[in-house]
């Protein structure tokens, strides 16, 4: 699928043609360099590897630098592969801009690393509503999970029981957002709705509207 | 954050004249009735402005007969065709919610002297 790497900038809103105020996420999408094209014969699957976002050369490892040099690319921060994307007439070293990959109205999926919330309780993590009242004698289990199962039968806790634990900081994909606006001169696109991760986080944007 | 501000600036409409709380404005508002579109006028005193960038809005209050009517307009709404500033008001605060308690003569606003000032 066609796609590019972006950086989440923040959220704002725009008015659409019928006057509704639409919440949008601003994503910076700089021009990416194709660093490698993987094909079924050589690698067992088809993919395009892109490098994006400038980084100082002293801050990348020599192995990464060697790989980027092969494609004639400057030092880059992010290298990401897009599977099943067979670019017509493109080869390693070529550049992809926003307008090459996206147009206004396209449907996209966005994948990124969600905000880490650490070891979170069941109320935050699973939307439990807590136990009982704040008053009437109860004093210490307002945000507790409550019962987690039976007693001597079944004498265990079932697998998959929703409990407290690590929440966030995982890969999350949001599907079917659409592109509200493209500002090529500042290399920015506006996507309807919210996307995973903090401002400044890197995200993959996959275009579902285009083939190839 | 700076990049967000830049993007927001490019989204903000700049075709409206400058006005502040206390000013009397006449708003030409596009109304869709089925297929047809016509312009509706709404005139009153600006009693509040809130928000910034693309989310900026202003509240206009008028007396319709004996009943106070307030409408909130987004600055960047595509439905606003035109805004005329009818009168500059002299007020000492940014939010004029006290006007809601007043009727008739008490609810008047003194005119601001704009002579000698640029625009």
Which domains are seen in chain A, by residue range? 3-117+166-207 (2.40.30.10)
Q: Using the predicted structure, report yes or no on whether residue B119 has a pLDDT greater than 70.
A: no
Determine whether the interchain pair B1/A15 forms a contact, defined as Cβ–Cβ distance below 8 Å. no
Predicted pLDDT at A78? 93
Interface contact B7-A188, CB threshold 8 A: yes
* Predicted-assembly ipTM surpassing the 0.85 threshold: no
Using CA coordinates, name the residue in chain A closest to B79. Answer: A19
Tens digits of residue pLDDT in A32-42: 999 999 988 89
Locate the chain A residue with the closest alpha carbon to B78: A19
Task: Give the pLDDT band (50/70/90) at residue B16.
Answer: confident
Counting Cα atoms < 13 Å in the Cβ hemisphere of A209 gives 13
How far is the C-alpha of B79 from the C-alpha of B32, rounded, in Å? Answer: 9
- Supply the pLDDT for residue A2: 85
In whole angstroms, give the CA distance from residue A4 to residue A142: 45
Radius of gyration (Cα) for chain A, nearest Å?
A: 23
Which residues are CB-contacts of A78 (< 8 A; sequence separation ≥ 6)?
A5, A51, A52, A53, A202
pLDDT of residue B114: 74
A114 close to A197: Cβ distance less than 8 angstroms: yes
Residue B118's pLDDT band (boundaries 50, 70, 90)? low
Q: Does A190 contact B7 at a Cβ distance shorter than 8 Å? A: yes
Q: How confident is the model at residue B116 (pLDDT cuts 50, 70, 90)?
A: low
**Residue A191, helix vs strand vs coil:** strand
Residue A17 reports pLDDT greater than 60: yes
According to the model, what pLDDT value does residue B85 have?
A: 93
């Amino acid at each position: 699928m066609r796609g590019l790497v972006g950086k989440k900038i923040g959220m704002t809103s725009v008015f659409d043609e019928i006057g509704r105020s639409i919440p949008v996420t601003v994503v910076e999408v700089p021009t990416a360099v194709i660093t490698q094209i993987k094909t079924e014969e050589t690698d067992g699957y088809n993919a395009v590897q892109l490098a994006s976002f400038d980084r100082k050369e002293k801050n990348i490892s020599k192995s990464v630098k060697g790989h980027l040099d092969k494609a004639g690319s400057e030092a880059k921060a992010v290298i990401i592969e897009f599977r099943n994307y067979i670019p017509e007439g493109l080869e390693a070293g070529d550049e992809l801009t926003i307008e090459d990959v996206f147009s206004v109205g396209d449907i996209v999926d966005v994948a990124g690393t969600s905000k880490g919330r650490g070891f979170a309780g069941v109320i935050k993590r699973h939307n439990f509503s807590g136990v009982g009242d704040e008053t009437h004698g109860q004093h210490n289990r307002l945000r507790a999970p409550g019962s987690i199962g039976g007693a001597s039968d079944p004498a265990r806790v079932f697998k998959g029981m929703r409990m407290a634990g690590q929440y966030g900081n995982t890969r999350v994909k949001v599907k079917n957002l659409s592109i509200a606006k493209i500002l090529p001169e500042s290399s920015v696109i506006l996507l309807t709705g919210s996307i995973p991760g903090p401002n400044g986080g890197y995200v993959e944007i996959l275009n579902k509207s285009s083939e190839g | 954050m700076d990049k967000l501000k830049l993007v927001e600036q490019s989204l903000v409409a700049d075709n409206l004249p400058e006005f502040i709380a206390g000013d009397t404005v006449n708003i030409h508002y596009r109304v869709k009735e089925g297929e047809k579109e016509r312009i509706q006028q709404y005139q009153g005193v600006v009693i509040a402005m809130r928000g910034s960038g693309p989310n900026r809005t202003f509240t206009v209050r008028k007396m319709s007969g004996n009943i106070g009517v307030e409408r909130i307009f987004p600055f960047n709404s595509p439905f606003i065709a035109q805004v005329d500033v009818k009168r500059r008001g002299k007020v000492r605060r940014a939010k004029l919610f006290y006007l809601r308690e007043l009727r008739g003569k008490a609810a008047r606003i003194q005119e601001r002297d704009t002579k000698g000032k640029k625009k």
